Amino acid sequence: MRILANPGGATRVVHNYESVAGAIPIPATLSLELGRVIGAQQENITYRFVSDFPFQNRAPHQLDKFQKDALDALRRDPEQKIVETATSLFSDKVRLVAPVVMGPACVSCHNSHPESPKTDWKVGDIRGIQEVIIAQPIAANIVSRLCLPENDLLRFHISFKFLLAYFLIAAGCGLSFLSLQRRQARRIKGMNRELESTNDFLASLSIKISRYIPPQVYKSIFSGQKDVTIHTERKKLTIFFSDIQNFTVTTERLQPELLTQLLNEYFTEMSAIAHEHGGTVDKFIGDAMLIFFGDPETKGDRADAQACLRMAWRMQQRLTELNAKWRASGIEQPFRSRMGINSGYCNVGNFGSSDRMDYTIIGAEANLAARLQSIAEPGRAS
């Protein structure tokens, strides 16, 4: 149109073609103009011609890192293809770069032009780059894939925004729920640790308590077979009493520490034998022991009495072994025990007060076993 508007005039190729009648732009200027036209007609397409050697009358081009790296790479190898892609939540973007190669006419023009910043160009040099940027919003991409009519695009954009907002709200609720679940999991984990610690403490405490009551009673209480209340019942039992002859004289002859050591060893061995035969160790009374058979566990009246007799014989046998050991260590006149055994009906259960009680037996048959023990000969049971 500019050539036809200047009939008969000479056609010139200059960068300031707008002020020269019949002139047309040089390729670089044409590229700049073309970029403005494409940008105005296509919102998602941008065309740019950029160079690090613009003419002096033009504003310097602002090159980003990608454009600078592309120029350096193309000057090393003009044949390579340079493409950059970027994807985000809302859009996809592609950047394509092609080199602007200096031809003979371009070299002649630039090397002789007074406003050219460089006058030693050679054919094949890379003056700049042409870049095409295509940005495609996610919503528009979905529209194109769904083949929606163009007049529905605006309505779809609005719907898409509401849908996106819904997803964001749902994601926020999901994250809040996950955070709550994690807090609850941490709290439950902490409670489990406290419960484990409490259980360990209670287990340790129950083991300590078991040292103060007979194993059979301990087992019946913790298994729920018996309640810790003041309650007794009448049962037929076999009662065993034993003590150490002349224990008062022995206490005067031995030091308290040595006496304590011997007495504890004696009670330990005798208690183990009683437990082995099924006896319930009621209590230690000074140097005496009270053991009964038939409660809280029983094998029958006859079997309980026989077990008690076997226990008494084994105790005398074990005491003989202990005496030999103690004599070998220099202790003269060690223990000699007297034993009394009786079977009959007694009251057995918890005696005492509501805040402190004792599991024991009372009755005439228990008193008779104690009297039999007092008149028995050492080393024998009566």
**What is the per-residue pLDDT across 171-221, written as a single tens digit (0 to 9) for each?**
888 888 888 888 888 888 888 888 888 888 877 777 777 677 777 776 776
Which of the listed residues 143, 164, 180 is the one where a domain comes to its end?
A: 143
What's the domain range around 113? 13-143
138 and 244 assigned to the same domain: no
138 lies in some domain = yes
134 and 242 assigned to the same domain: no
Contact 328, 345 (CB under 8 A): no
160 lies in some domain = no
348 lies in some domain = yes
The CATH number of the domain where 298 resides is what? 3.30.70.1230
32 and 134 assigned to the same domain: yes
Strands 24-25 and 13-14: parallel
Which of the listed residues 108, 143, 178 is the one where a domain comes to its end?
A: 143
In which residue ranges of the chain is pLDDT below 70?
Answer: 1-43, 89-90, 137-161, 210, 218, 221-228, 380-382
278 lies in some domain = yes
245 and 361 assigned to the same domain: yes
CA-to-CA distance for 240 and 270, rounded, in angstroms? 12
55 lies in some domain = yes
217 lies in some domain = no
The CATH number of the domain where 67 resides is what? 3.30.450
Enclosing H/E stretch for 241: strand 232-244
Contact 344, 216 (CB under 8 A): no
39 lies in some domain = yes
List b or e across 282-301, with b for residues whose CB sees 16 or more CB atoms inside 10 angstroms. beeeebbbbbbbbbbeeeee
**What pLDDT is attached to residue 369?**
94
Contact 127, 113 (CB under 8 A): no
**What pLDDT is attached to residue 23?**
56
End-to-end Cα spacing for the chain: 144
Beta-carbon contacts of 368 under 8 Å, excluding residues fewer than 6 positions away, are 342, 344
**What pLDDT is attached to residue 272?**
94
230 and 118 assigned to the same domain: no
193 lies in some domain = no
**What pLDDT is attached to residue 142?**
53
Number of domains the chain contains = 2
125 and 228 assigned to the same domain: no
254 and 348 assigned to the same domain: yes
230 and 371 assigned to the same domain: yes
CA-to-CA distance for 370 and 342, rounded, in angstroms? 9
135 and 255 assigned to the same domain: no
The pTM of this model reads 0.49
Q: pLDDT tens digits, residue range 298-333?
A: 999 999 999 999 999 999 999 999 999 999 888 877
Which of the listed residues 143, 160, 184 is the one where a domain comes to its end?
A: 143
Count of C-beta atoms within a 10 Å radius of residue 307: 19
